[in-house]
Amino acid sequence: MLSGQHKRQAVGKCWLFFLVTGKALDIQQQQHIPELSAPHCDEGWGATGPYYITDVPGHLLPVEQAVTRVCWNASGLVIDTNNSDMDIWQSCQECGCQNFNDGDVAEVFLAPVSSSSRSPSWYYELDVGAISGAFWGGVVHNSLGDDALYSSSFPCSATAPPGGFGSCELNCSALLPAVQVARGQSWWTRSLQIPWAMFLEDYRPSGSAEPWPVWRANFYRYSYPFKLPNSSDFDRNRAELSGWSPTHDASFHVPAHFGLLRLLPRALAQAVV
């Protein structure tokens, strides 16, 4: 969720975050934004290209790779991520714990937008920890976005300070994505099934209607592939931050650098399988 230098302040059940390095980007600066076309799940998947290190200039490959694939069906969005990982660990065990501070995590940032050239001011952050599948989720309000579309079915009044963002944490007793995790030798996977009911009706498929076609999304992970000096043990205080569309920033929360996700009408899905 957070990386680099940040300050945060609790306001009721909301959080305010001030990005020390974050800055707004205009459309001309949105270079190398990747695109993914996601078909109906009966027709296959849309898959990302490689992840890149997020907090450096340019496009550098991480030590540990990941790939995410996406499809949609009548129930919701399905987002699976497969992670290579030499030291799989996670201290969080329960929903609502800050898994992004406690080990390997796969994250999804997601929102519909009014056009492909816009970046969301409001979006979901959905984080899942390895091993336990411990979930943290929130509705984020980010002043660096330029599209005011609000799509969550949950109300959120979080204030977005200039150059930063606020968020409303999702209630672990309310409607949440279904989460599955699995692991093996040097890999772990996370499957996230996000119900359409988490979005307002305009953005869901209904009857013969298709889902909202244009979304911005990013997929991130925390991993810990670095060894301690003169040791065979891994350094669990030194994370590698990577993602589908690198933000080139110490923060994941740079909406102008989110990738472009298109949900294909079912009639057209066959063309991309």
The CATH number that domain 26-226+241-272 falls under is 2.60.40.1190
pTM above the 0.85 mark?
yes
pLDDT at residue 116 is higher than 80 = yes
What's the confidence (pLDDT) of residue 52?
98
Over residues 132-144, the mean pLDDT reads 98
pLDDT digits (tens, 9 = 90+) for 59-96: 999 999 999 999 999 999 999 999 999 999 999 999 99
Length of the chain: 273
The pLDDT, as a whole number, for residue 209 is: 82
Bridging pattern class, strands 35-38 and 259-263:
parallel
DSSP string, 125-181: EEEEETTT--EEEEEEEETT--B----BSS-------TTEEEEEEPPTTS---EEEE
Query: What is the tens place of the pLDDT at every residue in 223-251?
Result: 999 999 999 999 999 999 999 999 999 89
Q: CA-CA distance, 245 to 34, in Å (whole number)?
A: 6
Q: Which residues contact 66 (CB under 8 A, 6 or more apart)?
A: 51, 81, 82, 83, 84, 106, 219, 221, 242
Q: Per-residue pLDDT tens for 196-221?
A: 999 999 999 987 789 999 999 999 99
Position 266 scores a pLDDT of 87
Mean pLDDT of 146-159: 97
What integer pLDDT is reported at residue 27 of this predicted model?
Answer: 37
Query: Residue 164 burial by CB count (10 A; 0-12/13-18/19+): exposed, middle or buried?
Result: buried
